[in-house]
Amino acid sequence: MGKDWSHLVDNMSNRLAPSMAKDHPNLPVVKEEGCYYYGVDGKKYLDFTSGIATTNVGHRHPKVVEAIKEGADELGHGPSGVIIYESILKLADRLADIMPGELDCFFFGNSGSEAIEGAIKLAKHVTERPYIVSFIGGFHGRSMGALSVTSSKSKYRKFLHPTGSYQVPYAQVDESPQGVEPEQYVVEQLEKDFERLFAHQVTPDEVAAVLVEPVLGEGGYIVPPKAWLQKVRELCDQYNILLIFDEVQTGFGRTGEWFASQTFGVTPDIMAIAKGIANGMPLSATVASNELMKQWPLGSHATTFGGNPIACSAANAVLDVMEEENLLANTREVGAYATEKLKDLKDKHPVIGRVRSVGLMIGIEIIDPKTGLPNSEGLFKVLDTALENGVLFYFGGNQTEIIRMIPPLTVTKEQIDEGLRMFDEALTSYEEEIGAVNE
Ligand code: PMP
């Protein structure tokens, strides 16, 4: 790897479409290992963003690297659906074992968006109904079908011709009036929102599926009460509508179980999975029961690279590593540890608002201490200083008010301490700048 590519970085904004660029953070790297990135600047950075990309078992885990190398030594890629490889069949078998309920049949694609496209298409084929109901603040991808059910940021949807979806509010966990239990409130609101939707906008027998993220991801790491997600399932059953879970972000251990479906005790009819499946190799799947999948007519959906044998070998190695290194338990334990530490930081730092988490999916709200309102300007300052200090976080939330902390599931308590020390310093430096230090 050539070391001096600073001229390429300098010219980056001319060569890479601005639409794919992110202003903060922006880190050219030369090497990745475990929980760390190594920058072109020679510095080492702790990665608290891996839940995006999604290197759940750590960057370049030796077992995954070995599986990729072995796969590439023997195989390339033939037309999917024509040439069949052992790794894809083995992966489907192993995934069927860890999936909730009857979800045991797989359509493999390359990205989360593709898995969502598949889920929508499958639901429409099976039900012969035109509409999907999704949730306000939800994010399901950037291809046009996935965008039609996405509402987390309006800029994504510009020029989108409406393609048959309706949105209802997600669990409004912070909005229950005084004296009303938040759990009871969100469940009642959900029932009312569905009643209103079906009375005024669309009838249930026109709706193919309800699509939901079990934990709102890009929309700000909102963790609904179990009862809310259970009510979503009940309403789907009551109105005879299919339920799709978008587990692109929550899947593969992020919540401390294989899937959020298991964390919440709710099983959908169709699931979209991607990100963590192959530790950075492009792979995704639309999942349903064999019975449902059989209603998708033969040959009516395909994709050139779907189920690439090398990506599938990587995914098989990921499953091995998750089991051998007991990463579900690590996620629960270290996630709880990090959440406790963050509560201490919240007591110390007036710019921290709510802290929400499940497993190693942690959201930290940054507020203006004077008004209590979301503070995206402050958030970016904190992110940039944290990066200078050596830890990479990411942002999220519908008002860009949430710092997302999503390290690899291999992260240790010592690494959490290391990262939060640098975060603490970044928060202090921002608070000094705005004169908001706690006495
Ligand atoms: N669904 C969810 C919940 C996501 O978080 C994302 C990606 N952030 C997607 C779908 C789209 O995945 P991809 O970028 O791989 O298309």
CA–CA dist 281, 395 (Å, integer) = 23
* Ligand 1 site-directed mutation target among 249, 255, 361, 395, most atoms within 8 Å of CB: 249
pLDDT average, residue stretch 234-258: 97
- Banded pLDDT at 381 (limits 50, 70, 90): very high
Asked if pLDDT for residue 277 goes beyond 60, the answer is: yes
Q: Is 246 in the pocket of ligand 1 (CB under 6 A)?
A: yes
Per-residue pLDDT, 162? 63
CA–CA dist 16, 320 (Å, integer) = 36
> In angstroms, what is the span from residue 166 Cα to ligand 1's centroid?
19
- Banded pLDDT at 17 (limits 50, 70, 90): confident
pLDDT average, residue stretch 333-358: 97
Per-residue pLDDT, 54? 84
Asked if pLDDT for residue 299 goes beyond 60, the answer is: yes
CA–CA dist 390, 386 (Å, integer) = 6
pLDDT average, residue stretch 235-253: 97
Tokens of 341: 């530490």
CA–CA dist 248, 259 (Å, integer) = 10
* Ligand 1 site-directed mutation target among 135, 140, 259, most atoms within 8 Å of CB: 140
- ipTM > 0.90? yes
CA–CA dist 53, 62 (Å, integer) = 18
Q: Is 217 in the pocket of ligand 1 (CB under 6 A)?
A: yes
Task: Look at the block and give the residue holding tokens 């839940």.
Answer: 51
Tens of pLDDT, residues 207-234:
999 999 999 999 999 999 999 999 999 9
pLDDT average, residue stretch 396-423: 96
Helix (H) or strand (E) holding 289: none
Within the chain, all domains assigned CATH 3.40.640.10 are found at 62-324
| C-alpha atoms less than 13 angstroms from C-alpha of 37 in its C-beta half-sphere | 24
Within the chain, all domains assigned CATH 3.90.1150.10 are found at 6-57+326-434
What Cα–Cα distance (Å) separates residue 238 from each residue in 22, 200, 270? 43, 18, 17
Angle at 258 between CA 257 and CA 262, to 5 degrees: 60
Per-residue pLDDT, 174? 87
Asked if pLDDT for residue 55 goes beyond 80, the answer is: yes
CATH topology for 6-57+326-434?
Aspartate Aminotransferase, domain 1 (3.90.1150)
> In angstroms, what is the span from residue 247 Cα to ligand 1's centroid?
9
- Banded pLDDT at 37 (limits 50, 70, 90): very high
- Three-state DSSP class for residue 209: strand
Tens of pLDDT, residues 151-182:
887 777 777 776 789 999 999 998 888 888 98
pLDDT average, residue stretch 226-255: 98
Q: Is 134 in the pocket of ligand 1 (CB under 6 A)?
A: no
What Cα–Cα distance (Å) separates residue 176 from each residue in 233, 301, 360, 401? 22, 44, 26, 21
Ligand 1 atom with the smallest distance to the CA of 284 is 15
Per-residue pLDDT, 192? 97
Q: Whose CA is nearest to atom 13 of ligand 1?
A: 112
Q: Is 141 in the pocket of ligand 1 (CB under 6 A)?
A: yes
Domain 62-324 bears CATH identifier 3.50.50.60: no
φ, ψ at 163 (rounded to 5°): -125, 45
